Amino acid sequence: MIEKRNFYINGEWVAPIEARDCEVIDPSTEEPCAVISLGSDADADAAVAAAKAALPGWMATPVAERIALVEKLLEIYMERGEDLAQSMSIAMGAPIDMARSQQVGAGSFHLKNFINAAKKFQFDRPLDEKYPNDRIIYEAVGVAALITPWNWPMNQITLKVGAAAIAGCTMILKPSEESPLDAMVFAELMDAAGFPKGVFNLVNGDGIGVGTRLSGHPDVDMVSFTGSTRAGIAISKNAAETLKKVHLELGGKGANVVFADADEKAVKRGVLHMMNNTGQSCNAPSRMLVQSGIYDQAVEIAAEVASKITVASAHDEGNHMGPVVNKTQWEKIQGLIQKGIDEGARLIAGGPGLPENFNKGFYVKPTVFADVTPDMTIAREEIFGPVLSIMKFETEEEAIAIANDTEYGLTNYVQTQDPARANRMARVLRSGMVEMNGKPRSAGAPFGGMKKSGNGREAGIFGIEDFMEIKAVSGWTPE
């Protein structure tokens, strides 16, 4: 049992002012793996005060020095990769090999991209060559509250901390209480990198407690939140009282549109993408829309691919699917699988209950439904588990209508060998991102959505800009 009861505030590990203990459950075993403290309003206030006091000095620190500290952070991050991987595997159930490669790798990827983008960006520049005495100055928003989820911990922490640090913001990180151990390792990295006192602070807590206090705090200038749409709405309402900037990266219900001329690996690729991280990704391609001419073949392939996915403990090495994060998520997913059956979808792989040979742990069978219609619950709600819905369409126009018929708008996917069709689809799909034919977004590409998937963009220069204000100066005199 790991005990992590302290918070990192103003450059020191300090005992909570007022807190309650919280057990962290290992989803592979259902056994407690750690005890942490959940902070109070007083703990959040102490962290905000430290960040506010550090803000003037950090904003005044030259950009080159801020970048250099992030470079040092990246160096230490790489050295501590195994510690980060183990902490994510034990607390949120990422299979250890996947934690080492994808979960840890996501963090280093984003830090590298921030460093590269920042070195090219003009934080202080003329408005235009015609107006040399008008300048545009980018400066930090101020004190930023960073509220991160459990499903891709290092991905989200580095996307927020790296951008905020380079922008000149001071910050308070509140990680998910479901997966807090990696965040505490990350705080050790920030300390070892030598960031000035108060620039980075960490307070553990839940959304109702510390999350609510931070999002409504009068001395917090910005909230950057990743999580559920429900929580994002609550944060927006709370933050509105102080008119602070709010960045939201929320849920998704991505459509993966597979045309009849898609490449032969498109269906398999879509199934495996859906099951990655046990389906716990906001940008998961959870609705596979297949053109009628290849529909039966696609259903057959999807069932075969899903049936070959193995399920095992997150502690076991190898290529397999681990558990979902907790009992609440497991029960929600089971209920939606049953809902799919009850509403008439055709179950072609997986189904309710634990996988074979398991009697404990929050494991879910890799599940695929065919003959799903747009009105079904599984076609509309974000399941956040390894459940794929396959739907049939006839024409491009019908595919567009089905894909856009959702309250979410994070990522959509297109599979076709017709370049003109692919480009048409990219322009009309209502989502912040469109990925085509299995090509992932390139380094520095923005991540974010529209509609109920949130606002703002993360990664690269877009992420840095999100933590900055734009100041217009007229009558500038060259020194």
Low-confidence stretches of the chain (pLDDT < 70) are 1
Catalytic residue among 177, 178, 249, 458: 249
List, in order, residues 6 or more apart from 265 with CB less than 8 Å away: 438
- CA 14 vs CA 43, 76, 183: distances in Å: 10, 22, 15
Burial class (CB in 10 A: 0-12, 13-18, 19+), 325: buried
As to burial, measured by CB atoms within 10 angstroms (0-12 exposed, 13-18 middle, 19+ buried), residue 361 is buried
DSSP-assigned states of every residue in 191-254: HHHTPPTTTEEE----IIIIIHHHHH-TT--EEEEES-HHHHHHHHHHHHTTT-EEEEE-----
Of 22, 177, 282, 435, the active-site residue reads 282
pLDDT score at 476: 87
Task: Give the neighbor-by-neighbor strand order of the sheet with 20-26.
Answer: 2-4, 31-38, 20-26
Helix, coil or strand: residue 119: helix
Give the model's pLDDT for residue 3: 78
Give the model confidence (pLDDT) of 73-94 as tens digits. Answer: 999 999 999 999 999 999 999 9
> What strand order describes the sheet that includes 7-9?
12-14, 7-9, 200-202, 170-174, 143-147, 222-226, 245-249, 454-455
Q: Are strands 255-258 and 31-38 parallel, antiparallel or unpaired?
A: unpaired
pLDDT for res 46: 98
Q: What integer pLDDT is reported at residue 30 of this predicted model?
A: 97
pLDDT for 60-72, tens place per residue? Answer: 999 999 999 999 9
Q: What is the pLDDT of residue 166?
A: 98
Cβ-contact 363, 342 below 8 angstroms: no
- C-alpha to C-alpha distance for 327 and 348, rounded to whole angstroms: 25
| Largest separation between any pair of C-alpha atoms in the chain | 74
Q: What is the pLDDT of residue 361?
A: 97
- Entry pTM: 0.96
In b/e form, how buried is each residue of 191-211, taking b as 16+ CB within 10 angstroms? bebebeebbbbbbbbbbebbb
The verdict on whether 169 is a catalytic residue reads no
